[in-house]
Amino acid sequence: GGGLSAAGNSSSRVKSGAAKSSARVQALRVQQLLFRGLRVKVGMDYGVVRADIHGATARVMFRGKVMNRAARIGGVAKSGQVVVSSAAWEGALGDVNSASLSALSALTAATMRR
């Protein structure tokens, strides 16, 4: 009986160990997902837009050349990047501390066409 009981205990220990191992693997997967960063791509432009209220949803819809340019600019961004037009860059320069811009660079239209 004692051997059978010991086998029962070791079996439950194995199951418990497997559950702990599975929990560790799951925790590692979650950490790996968290460290991959944001998957957003942002394109920004500066200018005048037209804002309309959608009749069915009552949501505001923004339209115009600025919105189209922002969408195209966002299309060239990579995951985690914020890409801005020269107009948006120039507009932001007056509001941002120049020392904080040392790590940033503006992309020219020629660079973005590549």
- In DSSP notation, 48-73 reads --EEEE-TTT--EEEESHHHHHHHHH
Q: Is the pLDDT of residue 3 over 50?
A: no
Amino acid at 81: Q
pLDDT tens track for 39-92: 789 999 999 999 999 999 999 999 999 999 999 999 999 888 889 999 888 888
Contacts of 62 (CB under 8 A, 6+ apart): 49, 50, 51
Contact 63, 74 (CB under 8 A): no
pLDDT tens per residue across span 6-42: 344 445 554 566 666 777 777 777 666 655 666 789 9
7-18: burial string, b at 16+ Cβ within 10 Å, e else? eeeeeeeeeeee
End-to-end CA, the chain: 77
Residue whose tokens read 């009981």: 5
